[in-house]
């Protein structure tokens, strides 16, 4: 379905995120016919380029990050023809009058803040000053949204001076993933799961977001953040909310976000003994964390595992184990809803028992799988085995339908449509910081360094112990 004509300004239009995700994503929407031939994308950054130089840069970026789409050279040239470029300084006056001339007031106007967070407030102020913050314009704000409750509140207050909440799209690209939305379809579109979706039937929930890479070139930013600020407060928290929330009355922005907010508010403070922080060591072929950041004695964590409790009627007694980290065994993200064992085995101990596990896999191979216990085929008597009911989308839907949009392109189209359902509201972000701040303050006060872990492992042994002591175990990272 095509969206209305728009002008999208990408502040930071020459940056890594714009080249890797935003521009290739827009090109795919253009090819799909969703972005109409009138709409324009205007790069705005400090780099001294003219529009031809920008088009050449975007052509290269698309060829690098989506070579298959780039082969459609006719579409690519038409898309490049829709690009503009303005040299703009977010911190000064350069370029703002030019930008004002570029942006067509008859169309939907969206401004994507794909720049460092210290510029978010500056951009909002200057858009306002130059008359581009009118009632219908939208801003898209990248992560990180603050580094604690205080800074997030200050940023929300600055943005609120110039834009209404309904114009502010705080992006969390995890919410744009097909599987994450499917999680809601599975929960609320079937009668099968919802009656079992509570502490009476669910033993525990695990959320893992594992990366195999280290901090790479992002060391400067990452060392000031760490795994809790970079991943836990936003991405893992959002996933937890979608799993734990009550059914919203409608799949609309405020009903959904109200329910997520209630989950965050129901979270107990994390017990100091329920958090494990780690930092990766050097391996034979890769440097350790401390060799990749400026501060060689850094105590920033590149891994965190914790146990959380959602204290409400539905979830009391069902722990949520969350972990995320860099330089782990594999790049793998999943949510596992581990159901309780059948209350009694009629087949006897030798038949074996398997708990049902609903796995929502975010990467690789997005899909949802339900482990079901059946009889092992053959004459060997009643032996139980666990088989997956697999809904890997690429297989279930066939190659055409499975060519679903990447998270960023879907979310950008939602911005143009004015649909905030998959974006974080101001109060959600603040409550999430209110939950993580005391945890961070506690370990900072203790001054304990993170535990070392081997590159390519599953994190520190203590993270394994965190769940083992409850008689459970982490699912393998693979
Ligand atoms: P980058 O350093 O590659 O690019 C920064 C861009 O900002 C450049 O286009 C630069 O010209 C522009 N810029 C810098 N100072 C400016 C100024 N004063 N006025 C105008 N433009 C200015 O950064 P990036 O990796 O593209 O990240 C951009 C934002 O997206 C950051 O907030 C980052 O945290 C977030 N983010 C990035 C990624 C990623 O994969 N790169 C992922 C998630 C979130």
Give the mutation target among 15, 61, 147, 331 for probing the ligand 1 site: most ligand atoms within 8 A of CB.
15
Residues 6 or more apart whose Cβ sits within 8 Å of residue 76: 27, 59, 62, 69, 70
- How many domains does the chain divide into? 2
For every residue of 3-23, DSSP letters joined together read: PPPEEEEEETTTSHHIIIIIH
pLDDT score, position 105: 73
Domain holding 456, by residue range, is 175-468
- The dihedral formed by the CA atoms of 307, 312, 316 and 320, expressed in degrees to the nearest 10: -30
Reduced to 3 states (helix: H, G, I; strand: E, B; else coil), residue 298 is: coil
Other beta carbons less than 10 A from residue 329's beta carbon: 16
In this prediction, residues 451-473 reach a mean pLDDT of 97
Calculate the alpha carbon distances from 43 to 14, 138, 340 in Å.
Answer: 7, 16, 52
**Residue 235 known to be catalytic:** yes
Q: Is residue 373 part of a domain?
A: yes
pLDDT score, position 137: 94
Q: Are 309 and 195 within one domain?
A: yes
Q: What percent of the chain has pLDDT over 70?
A: 97
The radius of gyration of the chain's CA atoms, rounded to the nearest angstrom, is: 24
CATH of the domain at 47: 3.40.50.720
Count of positions (residues) in the chain: 478
What is the C-alpha separation between 116 and 98, in angstroms, rounded?
A: 22
Q: Are 133 and 182 within one domain?
A: no
Q: How confident is the model at residue 135 (pLDDT cuts 50, 70, 90)?
A: confident
Answer whether residue 402 shows pLDDT above 60.
no
> Which of 118, 142, 166 delimits the end of a domain?
142
pLDDT score, position 401: 47
Q: Is residue 151 part of a domain?
A: no
Which atom of ligand 1 is nearest to 18's Cα?
A: 26
Residues 6 or more apart whose Cβ sits within 8 Å of residue 363: 331, 332, 333
Q: Are 287 and 200 within one domain?
A: yes
Q: Are 105 and 194 within one domain?
A: no
Q: Are 138 and 249 within one domain?
A: no
Give the H/E segment covering residue 438.
Answer: helix 426-446
List binding-site positions for substrate: 173, 177, 211, 230, 326
Q: Are 386 and 321 within one domain?
A: yes
Using CA of residue 278, residue 284, residue 285, residue 291, what is the dihedral sign? positive
pLDDT score, position 404: 65
Does ligand 1 have an atom closer than 6 angstroms to the CB of 170?
no
What is the C-alpha separation between 28 and 62, in angstroms, rounded?
A: 10
What is the C-alpha separation between 229 and 149, in angstroms, rounded?
A: 11
Distance 218 CA to ligand 1 centre (A): 11
Asked if 382 and 347 count as a contact pair (C-beta separation under 8 A), the reply is yes
Tell me the helix, strand and coil percentages in the chain, rounded to 5: 40, 20, 35
pTM over 0.90: yes
Q: Are 196 and 78 within one domain?
A: no
Q: Are 354 and 431 within one domain?
A: yes
Distance 74 CA to ligand 1 centre (A): 29
Q: Is residue 244 part of a domain?
A: yes
Report whether the peptide linkage leading into residue 200 is cis, meaning its omega lies within 30 degrees of zero: no
62-106 pLDDT tens trace: 999 999 999 999 999 999 999 999 999 999 999 999 999 999 778
pLDDT score, position 353: 80
Does ligand 1 have an atom closer than 6 angstroms to the CB of 386?
no
> Which of 124, 142, 160 delimits the end of a domain?
142
Q: Are 303 and 449 within one domain?
A: yes
Q: Is residue 275 part of a domain?
A: yes
323-377 pLDDT tens trace: 999 999 999 999 999 999 988 889 888 888 889 999 999 988 888 999 999 999 9
Q: Is residue 161 part of a domain?
A: no
Q: Is residue 231 part of a domain?
A: yes
Distance from the Cα of residue 188 to its chain's centroid: 21
Q: b/e for 270-308, b at 16 or more Cβ within 10 A?
A: beeebbbbbbbbbeeeeebbbebbeeeebbbbbbbbbbb
In this prediction, residues 399-416 reach a mean pLDDT of 79
Calculate the alpha carbon distances from 149 to 103, 152, 154, 267, 294 in Å.
Answer: 34, 5, 9, 16, 26
Asked if 405 and 28 count as a contact pair (C-beta separation under 8 A), the reply is yes
What is the C-alpha separation between 256 and 261, in angstroms, rounded?
A: 9
Distance from the Cα of residue 384 to its chain's centroid: 37
Per the residue annotation, which of 128, 164, 204, 235 is the catalytic one? 235
Q: Are 363 and 453 within one domain?
A: yes
Q: Are 234 and 324 within one domain?
A: yes
> Which of 21-35, 157-171, 327-341, 395-409 has the weakest average pLDDT?
395-409
What is the C-alpha separation between 58 and 84, in angstroms, rounded?
A: 11
What is the C-alpha separation between 338 and 370, in angstroms, rounded?
A: 10
CATH of the domain at 255: 3.30.360.10
> Which of 155-169, 202-216, 362-376 has the weakest average pLDDT?
362-376
Does ligand 1 have an atom closer than 6 angstroms to the CB of 94?
no
Q: Are 34 and 183 within one domain?
A: no
Answer whether residue 316 shows pLDDT above 80.
yes
Does ligand 1 have an atom closer than 6 angstroms to the CB of 146?
no
Q: Is residue 339 part of a domain?
A: yes
Does ligand 1 have an atom closer than 6 angstroms to the CB of 89?
yes
Which atom of ligand 1 is nearest to 90's Cα?
A: 19
Q: Is residue 402 part of a domain?
A: yes
Residue 305 is encoded by which pair of tokens? Answer: 């595992």
Q: How confident is the model at residue 403 (pLDDT cuts 50, 70, 90)?
A: low
Distance from the Cα of residue 284 to its chain's centroid: 31
> Which of 121, 142, 163 delimits the end of a domain?
142
What is the C-alpha separation between 112 and 10, in angstroms, rounded?
A: 5
Calculate the alpha carbon distances from 147 to 154, 298, 335, 410, 429 in Å.
Answer: 11, 17, 25, 27, 11
């Amino acid at each position: 379905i095509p969206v209305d004509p728009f002008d999208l300004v990408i502040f930071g239009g020459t940056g890594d995120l714009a080249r890797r995700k935003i521009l290739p994503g827009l090109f795919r929407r253009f090819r799909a016919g969703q972005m109409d031939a009138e709409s324009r994308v205007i790069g705005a950054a400090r780099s001294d380029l003219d529009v031809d130089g920008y088009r050449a840069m975007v052509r290269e970026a698309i060829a690098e990050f989506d070579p298959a789409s780039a082969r459609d050279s006719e579409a690519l040239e038409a898309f490049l023809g829709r690009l503009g470029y303005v040299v703009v300084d977010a911190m000064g006056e350069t370029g703002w009058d030019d930008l004002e001339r570029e942006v067509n007031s008859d169309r939907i106007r969206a401004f994507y803040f794909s720049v460092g967070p210290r510029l978010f407030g500056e951009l909002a102020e200057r858009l306002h000053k130059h008359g581009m913050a009118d009632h219908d314009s939208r801003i898209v704000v990248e992560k990180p949204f603050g580094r604690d409750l205080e800074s997030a509140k200050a940023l929300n207050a600055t943005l609120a001076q110039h834009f209404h909440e309904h114009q502010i799209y705080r992006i969390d690209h995890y919410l744009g993933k097909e599987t994450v939305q499917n999680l809601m379809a599975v929960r609320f579109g079937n009668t099968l799961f919802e009656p079992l979706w509570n502490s009476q039937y669910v033993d525990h929930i695990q959320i893992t977001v594992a990366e195999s890479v280290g901090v790479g070139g992002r060391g400067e930013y990452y060392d000031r953040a760490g795994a809790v600020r970079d991943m836990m407060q936003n991405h893992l928290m959002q996933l937890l909310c979608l799993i734990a929330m009550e059914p919203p009355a409608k799949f609309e922005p405020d009903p959904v976000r109200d329910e997520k907010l209630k989950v965050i508010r129901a979270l107990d403070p994390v017990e100091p003994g329920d958090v494990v922080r780690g930092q990766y060591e050097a391996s034979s072929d890769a440097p350790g964390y401390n060799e990749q950041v400026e501060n060689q004695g850094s105590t920033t964590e590149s891994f965190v595992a914790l146990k959380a409790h959602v204290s409400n009627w539905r979830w009391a007694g069902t722990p949520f184990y969350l972990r995320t980290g860099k330089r782990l065994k594999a790049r793998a993200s999943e949510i596992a809803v581990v159901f309780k064992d059948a209350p009694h085995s009629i087949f006897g101990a030798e038949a074996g028992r398997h708990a049902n596990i609903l796995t929502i896999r975010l990467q690789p191979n997005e899909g949802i799988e339900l482990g079901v216990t059946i009889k092992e085929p053959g004459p060997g008597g009643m032996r139980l085995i666990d088989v997956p009911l697999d809904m890997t989308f690429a297989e279930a839907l066939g190659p055409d339908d499975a060519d679903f949009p990447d998270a960023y392109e879907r979310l950008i189209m939602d911005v143009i449509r004015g649909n905030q359902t998959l974006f974080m509201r101001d109060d959600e972000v603040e409550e999430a910081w209110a939950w993580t701040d005391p945890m961070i303050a506690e370990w900072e006060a203790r001054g304990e360094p993170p535990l070392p872990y081997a590159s390519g492992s599953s994190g520190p042994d203590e993270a394994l112990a965190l769940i083992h002591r409850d008689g459970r175990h982490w699912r393998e990272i693979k």
